Amino acid sequence: MALNALGRHLALIGFMGAGKTTIAPNVAARLGRRIVEADRLLEGRVQLRLGEFFAKRGETEFRVAEAALIRDALASGDPAVFDLGGGAVKTPTAREALAAGAFVVLLEVDADSAWARVRGSDRPLARAEDPFRRLYAERTPLYREVADAVVPSGDEDGVVLAAAGVHYERGALARLGELVPGDGPLALVGDSTVLDLYGDGARQALGDRLVSTHELPPGEAAKTLDVVGRLWSELRLDREGTIVALGGGTATDVASFAAATYLRGVPWVSVPSTLVGQVDAGIGGKTAIDIPQGKNLVGAFHWPARVVIDEELLTTLPDRERRQGKAELLKTELLAGRPLDVRGAAAYKAGICLQDPHDRGPRRFLNLGHTFAHALEAAAGFDLPHGEAVALGLLAALRLSGRDAAPVVEALDPQPVAVDRAAAWEALQRDKKRSGGEINLVLLGDGGPYVAARPAEEVRAALDTLIRH
């Protein structure tokens, strides 16, 4: 089975009335993909309305034509979102094509709801209730056989999360062994604080597959080459092994970077235990460590085999750590233009990252405020909490955008920090967004986020407002 829709088509399947046609355009827009409506494409190919096709040629010939179209469409073009008819999974040809070329999400609907939605329509197989229900019972096992993920009808965020390989569930830590893909050996990596709290539960859940546990220093101190080198030397996994990263953003950054480079890359699973990690850092496959010259300057892209988000892990989060996460959550709300909970924020980031897995396009928008934040963190010797730096960075970004900064002030109350101005400016200039005499920044307009080059002196003046006099 496919793990996610990265580099693969996303196919939506389900019974009549599951809402595939309603949800598919929204999902396609969030992933930056074209939409393929199989029924409309088939009508164009056979030059008949589907009802006429059924009436004149019968269902058997229809299914043959439908399967051929699905096979051909899945074998060509950039990854798309497919809206498939309710009976598309009936033929072996179509099922084989889906298994080979798509990540398949079943939009699940119960028979009563499905009938209430489609009765009285012109669908040829929805004209009488008893045959409709028999058909529902007949197709349900086929849907389950083909599906890589199952999402309730109408759950748009659920489709996006599933497509990115993100599993959201309260209490999921207890099922971690079931949620880690594959059957090879596992190495559990986490910071000392989180392992003290949740290490026993994670080890119990991972069971006999777990071969080693590796403790990292808490916080940004973990993101050094020395720590990664020690982890490389301790690991005893083969190429079938998986690293399970349990902890906040620093722990998942380090563990994922080790996974990206150990044996030239082994799978990893992200289990973020902080609000920052669950809405941002644990999703999308960006791995990194720090060097003295700047934050996250050494890293790789390595998509996680799965992300497991369990909000129950946040119950032990200290207030200061929760505030760090609120800064990333507010950033995501500003980008999305609407209030979000943890699940919604995770889905927003997952969609952007699937659209742009290597940070060459719209994923850059997720750096709103971060050019300033990273500079402040580096100038503070990485002793400034990330969320507090992001709050200040958002303040500067909104001011440069000509936007009211009140949402940041009211929610986060960021205060200027005491760091060396020259060191902060030097770190900002080393950031990946520098271009000649200008700095590329993510700003926020009425139509949403955009990237613009601003003169260096203007950016430096904005940075200075964030530093205590």
Q: pLDDT tens digits, residue range 189-222?
A: 999 999 999 999 999 999 999 999 999 999 889 9
Residue type, 247: G
Question: Does residue 352 sit within a domain?
Answer: no
Cβ atoms of 385 and 414 closer than 8 Å: no
Residue 217 lies in a domain: yes
**C-alpha span between 343 and 363 (Å, rounded):** 19
Residue 345 domain-assigned?
no
* 123 and 177 part of one domain: no
Q: Are residues 203 and 313 in the same domain?
A: yes
Residue 126 is predicted with a pLDDT of 82
> Is 342 within the bounds of a domain?
no
**Span 409-451, pLDDT tens digits:** 999 999 999 999 999 999 998 865 566 678 999 999 999 999 9
Dist CA 262 CA 54 (whole Å): 56
| pTM given for the model | 0.94
Residues 45 and 21 in one domain: yes
- Same structural domain for residues 370 and 437? yes
3 located within any domain: no
- Residues 212, 310, single domain; the answer is yes
Average pLDDT, integer, range 227-253: 97
Residue 40 lies in a domain: yes
Euclidean distance between the first and the last CA atom of the chain, given in angstroms as a whole number:
57
Residue 120 has pLDDT above 90, yes or no: no
Per-residue pLDDT tens digits for 69-92? 899 999 988 999 999 989 999 999
In this structure, the answer to whether residues 151 and 172 fall within a common structural domain is no
Quote the number of domains for the chain: 3
Q: Are residues 144 and 268 in the same domain?
A: no
State whether the Cα torsion 218-223-224-225 is positive or negative.
positive
Based on the domain organization, do 232 and 294 belong to the same domain?
yes
Q: Is residue 417 in some structural domain?
A: yes
Residues 146 and 194 both lie in one domain: no
Rounded distance between C-alpha atoms, residue 10 and residue 372, angstroms: 36
- CA–CA gap between residue 415 and residue 419 (Å, rounded): 12
Residue 391 CA to residue 373 CA, distance in Å, equals 8
Question: How large is the C-alpha radius of gyration of the chain?
Answer: 24
DSSP string covering 258-305: HHHHGGG---EEEEE-SHHIIIIITSS-EEEEEETTEEEEEEEE---S
We report the CATH number of the domain holding residue 460 as 1.20.1090.10
- In this structure, the answer to whether residues 85 and 180 fall within a common structural domain is no
The string over 159-188, giving b where at least 16 C-beta atoms fall within 10 Å of a residue's C-beta and e elsewhere, is bbbbbbbbbbeeebbeebbebbeeebbbbb
Same domain for 25 and 135, yes or no, is: yes
Q: What's the rounded Cα separation, in Å, for the pair 153 and 435? A: 46
| Structural domain boundaries enclosing 150 | 9-155
